[in-house]
Structure 1
Amino acid sequence: MNAAANVMERRSFTEVRAEGRRLEGYAATFGSEARIGSIIETIARGAFQKAIGGDVVALFDHDHGKVLGRTRSGTLRLAEDAKGLAFVLELPDTHAGRDILALAERGDLGGMSFGFRVPPGGDSWDGDHRTLETVDLKEISVVSAWPAYPDTSLALRSRPATPSPRRRRLILAELGA
């Protein structure tokens, strides 16, 4: 029941923070479940290790016409840690980059997503539960709508010098206070 290696798949998450013109957070988290139709999918630790050394692009809503950064140029940095696939993205001073920054400041972004292919043997199945064990990561995307994986968070890290009462409430909520 392995997915064909040439099929591009996409999954979404919601953990993003903005700091200045930088977004950072998690494009994927390990162990959290996503329901995709009748399938329950999780990502195993180490699934991205082989892929993060390659050239991965950052896009807006999976639109190849809206490149936000890439690992080759150093404007996108990726790393796997115990939680998942962490990223740091330096937003460009472009229309798309400014739009994303404005949406992040308002708290309107849906989260993060990633596009990938599963190489032969890169996934395992137990009934309707699929575990991604190795993926060929092609892109991560800032998404404006809903993520597939719910166990990530979207937060704003840049804070004005004197935040408004509404902003203070958002900051406190972000910090879990």
Structure 2
Amino acid sequence: MTAAATLPAVERRAFTEVRTAGRRVEGYAATFGTEAKLGTFVETIEPGAFRSALAGDVLALLDHDAGKVLGRTRSGTLRLSEDTRGLAFSLDLPDTQAGADVLALAARGDLGGMSFGFTVPKGGERWAGNRRSLSAVGLREVSVVSAWPAYPDTEIALRALQTGAEAARRRRVLVMAEAARWA
């Protein structure tokens, strides 16, 4: 067995709250207590789940693509913190094509949201039937996503949140798309 075969699989979850100001993007990459319907199970994240991961070097990517690095905690261009709502982030976008794409899509309201890639350490999850609760995660990266986040409870905006029937419609579309990926 190789070392790669023993590594835990990286999971990805997404949210859709992003605000921009200049070349800075900020919002929440994850929210606590929000239910994500992921195919055959429902998942929630508990407060404190990211606490130990915040000390590590976490990347900011576009669409989970390691070839499109937007920032990282080690360089200070990505700042992460936990508050009572969830995993907050602030990202200084680079003057690259990926950075320009994120700004343009955010301004138009076209982004799908935020996502994060993680592993679950031993003892970091609890199952009750088809419900999974995450109490600890090994955070690897946060991503700006173009399409469908798994957690549809927040919205993408340029200093204003999308509301009303359009937000509800978008949430339904995102939930259905994520369910289809897991079916």
Answer whether TM exceeds 0.5 for this pair. yes
1:26 maps to which of 13, 22, 28: 28
Q: 2:149 aligns to what SS in structure 1? A: coil
Partner of 1:103: 105
1:110 and 1:36 mapped to 2: Cα distance? 17
CA RMSD of aligned residues (A): 1.5
For 1:129 and 1:93, how far apart are their aligned partners in 2? Answer: 42
Is 1:118–2:120 an aligned residue pair? yes
Determine if contact 1:5/1:119 at 8 Å carries over to the other structure.
no
Taking the aligned partners of 1:5 and 1:125, their CA distance within structure 2 comes to: 21
Residue aligning to 1:89: 91
Matched with 1:135 is 137
- CA–CA distance in 2 between the matches of 1:138 and 1:154? 22
Instruction: Tell me how far 1:175 sits from its aligned partner.
Output: 8.7
The alpha carbon displacement at 1:5 in A equals: 6.3
Letter in 1 for 2:30: A
Q: List structure 1 segments (4+ residues) > 2 angstroms apart after TM superposition.
A: 173-176
State whether structure 2 residue 71 is matched by structure 1 residue 43.
no
Q: Write the distance in 2 (CA, Å) between the matches of 1:175 and 1:85.
A: 22
Give 2:179's aligned residue.
none
Q: What fraction of aligned residue pairs are identical, expressed as a percent? A: 67
Pairwise CA distance, 1:150: 1.1
Query: What is the TM-score with the length of structure 1 in the denominator?
Result: 0.86
Query: Please, what TM-score do these two structures have when normalized by structure 2?
Result: 0.84
Rounded Cα–Cα distance in structure 1 between residues aligned with 2:112 and 2:148: 5
Number of matched pairs? 159
In terms of fraction of residues, the more helix-rich structure is 2
* Deviation at residue 50 of structure 1 after TM alignment: 0.2
Deviation for aligned residue 1:151:
1.1
Q: 1:144 aligns with which of 139, 143, 146?
A: 146
Q: Which runs of 5+ in 1 are unaligned?
A: 158-170
Deviation sequence 1:39-87 (CA, Å, 0-9, x none) = 0000000000000111000000000000000000000000000000000
AA aligned opposite 1:104? A
Distance 2:53 2:152 in 1: 23
1:55 aligned counterpart, secondary structure: coil
**Matching residue within 72, 75, 78 for 2:74:** 72
